[in-house]
Chains A and B, each alone.
Chain A
Amino acid sequence: MATAREVSDRAARRDVRDRWLLSAPALIVIFFAAIGPLFVMLAYSFMAKGDYGDVKFGQFSLDGWFSVFLQRDIFDDTITLADAHLSIFWRSVRLSVITTVLTIALGFPTAYFIATRPRHTREIWVFLVTIPFWTNLLIRTFAMQEVIRNEGILNTLLIRLGIIAQPLQIMYTDAAILFGMVYVYLPLMVLPLYASMEKLDFRLVEAGYDLYAGRLQVLRRVIFPLVKPGVIAGSILVFIPSLGAYVIPRVLGGGKNMMLGNLIEMQFGAGRNWPLGAAISITLMAIVMVALLFYVRNTARSGAGHG
């Protein structure tokens, strides 16, 4: 005879088995078409490059990883830093940081404005932020191009107003990429900021004023610390896609102002250096993971109570 305990154990085991079967389709698809290929790419980064793209399969080589940051002179074999790659890394990090800062500058007041509206109109403001967010990234990039082109709205307006005589060349510069990224990623900053500001307890703000704090002090010492989780979440949501941006620099930056995404693409296209492309991709992913780890540790420390 089976004891009650054995029966319940068996039921529990069956439950866990069923749960694995139910989750199997999702796990299998993600394994084959998302996560598995990342490991294949890791392996490729350690192989010798093929003559016409691809790799010499199974032939071990560290050349790919070597060329991420270094280059060997073809004549005298001296090893120097790969300036071209370093400048692209630097541009990607710099533009992503500036994008994050600018989206906070615009997004913080916007989220605060929405959070202080009467409850029934808040939803409409949030909806207005959500629409651009769900609009195709390419369409928004193209829309930004309409604004900043030499014959675009911005230049036309400035010329009409007599502020400038010649159109400003914004397209195909770092500034164009910056405009594009701020525009495209702004909703990703506003939404988490709003989520944390909505829960803001204004009695604390009132207490601050009662204790003779000025507006700036209340903002810095009361409001900001309370909504910090939202600021961090928004920064992560903006920083990560900015760093991996591909479409925006391709359309607005042109061929010269590459970011990491474009450098990676080049290795799989004209560059015909798949191992290098794989190595840069993994480096990019490593930077993203570090940023995420920072985020997880930060939210764990500042208490799980805040979303």
Chain B
Amino acid sequence: MGSKYFDIRTLPGFAFVAMVTFFLLYLPIAALVAYAFNAGSSISDWEGFSFRWFASAWQNTAVQDAAMRSLVIAVVASTIATAAATTAALATTRTNAYRGLTFKYAFINTPLMVPEIVTAVALLIVFSRVKIWTGYSGLGYLIAAHTAFCIPFAYLPIRARLESMDSSLERAAQDLYATPWMTFRRVTMPLLRPGIIAGFMLAFVISLDDVVITEFVKSGGQDTLPTYMLGQLRRETTPEVNAIATVFLALSVLLVTAFFFINRRKA
């Protein structure tokens, strides 16, 4: 062999493909964001830089309503989901196997395995009948549906955190005559907090992003931001959709970055 240093880790062409992959991952997003700042009303011809489409989206009442609805559903659903996931995680970790434990794991994780479109039409079937029976057609259905599919996402990091927690601290608290409630509030809860925050953020993003289930469960006039955008894509789109998407994107990136740093600090 020649005198050249031979790096066993390098495989020829792999770095090139990786660069192509990263380029491909970001090119479409970059294009989408760029045209949000287009002065013209086309999403293909560049006519100069402007914020006009952000202003127009901001003043669009349909967008305002949809954004508000998205936020309300995401806050309520991810709060309930996180609370339910926290108690469920407490009930399914740090214990000897008991009858029903495996069942609980499977049950809580099932929503992750069923294709979204299948859950969506199943909910359409059930909720359309409930709507007729009760006459209620508010946001409750969307919140219930979102809560259900958010629970497994909130459950994952909370359970992971609990399993890595040292239970001797809690036993020490009990030895010092703390009541179970006090032990939970003063010892378990503070230790568990990073897991709960991570779980809540995951659930929040998942709820905010949902298109398919929302599209099938919503009643008339209950568009969320994603279903509103889906409706807009059917028509000739203007950069206004790009502007909405850009703001949405910025929000997601912000949340993911925060999530990334919270998890990193823990490690």
| Chain A interface (Cβ < 8 Å from any Cβ of B) | 15-16, 18-23, 25-27, 29-38, 40-41, 44, 54, 105-107, 109-110, 112-114, 116, 123, 127-132, 134-140, 142-147, 149, 151-153, 156, 183, 186-187, 190, 202, 205-206, 209, 215, 219, 240-241, 243-244, 246-247, 250-251, 260-261, 264-265, 268, 274, 277-278, 281-282, 284-285, 288-289, 292
Q: Are A33 and B115 in contact (CB under 8 A)?
A: no
Nearest A residue to B232 via CB reads A142
Minimum CB–CB distance from A104 to chain B (whole Å) comes to 11
Candidates B17, B117, B145; contact of A265 at CB < 8 Å: B117
Among A31, A38, A123, chain B packs the most CB atoms within 10 A around the CB of: A38
Cβ–Cβ contact B118 & A285, under 8 A = yes
B86 to chain A, nearest CB (A): 9
CB contacts (< 8 Å) of A282 on chain B: these are 118
Q: Choose from B84, B91, B216, B260 the contact partner of A130 (Cβ within 8 Å).
A: B260
Chain B residue at minimum C-beta to C-beta distance from A182: B24
Cross-chain contact of B233 among A36, A116, A251, A260 (Cβ < 8 A): A251
Chain A residues with Cβ under 8 A from B2's Cβ?
none
Does A113 contact B117, Cβ atoms closer than 8 Å?
A: no
Which A residues touch B110, using CB under 8 A?
Answer: 30, 34-35
Counting chain B CB atoms within 10 Å of each CB, which of A36, A110, A153 scores highest? A110
Verify A143–B28 contact, CB threshold 8 A.
Answer: yes
Contact of A156 among B18, B20, B44, B91 (CB under 8 A): B44
Interface size class of B (residues with CB under 8 A): 35 or more
Provide 25 A-B residue pairs closer than 8 Å at the C-beta atoms, listed in order of the A residue.
A18-B91, A19-B91, A23-B108, A25-B83, A25-B87, A26-B85, A26-B108, A27-B104, A34-B114, A37-B122, A105-B17, A109-B14, A112-B18, A132-B26, A136-B208, A136-B245, A142-B241, A143-B29, A143-B31, A146-B28, A250-B230, A261-B115, A264-B118, A265-B216, A289-B113
- Using Cβ atoms and an 8 Å threshold, which residues of chain A touch B24? 106, 183, 186
A22 and B87 form a contact (CB under 8 A): yes
- Whether A127 pairs with B260 at a CB distance below 8 angstroms is yes
Q: A142-B32, A268-B216 are in contact. List 9 more A-B contacts (CB 8 A).
A: A26-B85, A33-B145, A123-B264, A137-B211, A142-B241, A183-B24, A186-B25, A219-B11, A285-B118
